[in-house]
Amino acid sequence: MQIADRHGRIVRVIHDHRTDTRRRVIEIATRGMPRGVYYFSLQTAVDTTMITAVIGEY
Each of the 58 residues of the chain gets a pLDDT tens digit; together they read 777 877 778 777 766 656 556 677 777 777 888 888 888 777 667 777 777 777 775 4
- The domain spans of the chain are 2-55
Q: What residues contact residue 11 under an 8 Å CB cut-off, 6+ apart?
A: 3, 4, 5, 33, 38
HEC profile of 5-23:
ECCCCEEEECCCCCCCCHH
According to DSSP, the residues that pair with 40 across neighbouring strands are 3, 51
pTM (2 d.p.): 0.47
